[in-house]
Amino acid sequence: MDKFTQDLPNFRPNKAPVRKNVKEIVYYVVGIILSLIFILPILYMLATSTKGEVAYAESVGTLNMFLPDLAHLGIAFENYKNVLLGYDIWKYALNSFLYAGIVIVINILVNGLAGYVMAKLVFPGKRLLSFLIIFLIVVPVETSIIPLYSIVKIMLGLKQQMSVLGVILPASISIFNIFLFTQFFQNIPKEYEEAARIDGANTLGVFFKVIMPLSKPILATVAVFCFIGVWNDYLWPSMILPSASDGTWPLLPIQTALTTIQSIEGITTGEIMASLVITSIPIFVTYVAAQKYIVQGFGTSGLKM
């Protein structure tokens, strides 16, 4: 302590940098631990997909269970080949891609229009409808499965190709996506709409020519959520869609195929993990590609309704 500080009776050393360093250390340590918790199962899945039954049994309980078997890459190739071609998982994956594409298009159009109406238009009962939207967000999906199944069965009959509509139509309407669209559209300045109306655009013209081009972040966010939801959906399609029969194209999505594959007699652990890797890749790629837009979409959506 120098002469100047000795002359100040109330002087106290600044401990802020020390506290800041401690907080940063704790932050990074906790972050690393949480990252390992999430990464280790993925490493285990990737490593096991490259192994045969003998190598897998030898690695259980050791660090090798998280490391791929680079000495026998031919086994890894066989695992993925058997899953893709031997068990026809590519057919189920193609179904999921098709369902997801249709659901994304309908979801953006229908829920986007609903969100635009809630955000920009004034009509009687708007406050009550806003309350219902928020209320329905917190209602568990499981509570509506049985009533929804009864409605779909009565209206569509659940016969072969008609049952596909039973998968697509309910997934095309999302209260949560309407909420996201509403929050995002409320932050778009009304001057854009006024300028378009001066040029002669009607309500639909304003929506498609002005609002939609300005809404790329929320469009990407909704598209990713729809894709992940359809890709990971298992319970509802298994209730609606018929089981695949010999010689016909299966209608079930990829998650139901995983359950079928895991129950096949003689399937190896490596093949099961290979099927899990294949089903995880599209979700990973989709999220990484749209990550920037997802952050922007949530960052500009706000919280009030």
Q: Are residues 121 and 196 both part of a single domain?
A: yes
pLDDT given at position 18: 66
pLDDT tier at 26, thresholds 50, 70, 90? confident
**Burial of 7 from C-beta contacts in 10 A (0-12 / 13-18 / 19+):** exposed
Q: Which of 35, 52, 83 is the last residue of a domain?
A: 83
Decide if 186 is inside a domain: yes
| Mean pLDDT value of segment 163-170 | 84
Q: Are residues 181 and 240 both part of a single domain?
A: yes
Q: Are residues 72 and 181 both part of a single domain?
A: no
Are 229 and 175 within 8 A, CB to CB?
no
Tracing tokens 């008609």 back to the chain, one arrives at 162
pLDDT given at position 130: 84
| Mean pLDDT value of segment 72-89 | 83
> Amino acid identity, residue 191?
E
- Whether 6 shows a pLDDT value over 60: the answer reads no
Write phi, then psi, for 243 (nearest 5 degrees). Answer: -70, 150
Tracing tokens 């929506």 back to the chain, one arrives at 207
Domain of residue 15 covers 3-83
pLDDT tier at 299, thresholds 50, 70, 90? low
- Whether 69 shows a pLDDT value over 90: the answer reads no
CA angle 288, 294, 297 (to 5 degrees): 165
Q: Are residues 74 and 137 both part of a single domain?
A: no
Q: Which of 53, 83, 113 is the last residue of a domain?
A: 83
pLDDT given at position 297: 62
Decide if 305 is inside a domain: no
- Whether 2 shows a pLDDT value over 60: the answer reads no
- pLDDT: is 247 or 25 the higher one? 25
Decide if 26 is inside a domain: yes
Q: Are residues 93 and 79 both part of a single domain?
A: no
- Which of 14-18, 141-145, 284-288 has the lowest average pLDDT? 14-18
When divided into structural domains, the chain yields a total of 2
Segment (H or E) for 279: helix 269-299
Q: Which of 48, 68, 83 is the last residue of a domain?
A: 83
Q: Are residues 178 and 101 both part of a single domain?
A: yes
Q: CATH no. for residue 245?
A: 1.10.3720.10
pLDDT given at position 127: 86
Q: Are residues 274 and 163 both part of a single domain?
A: yes
pLDDT given at position 149: 84
Decide if 304 is inside a domain: no
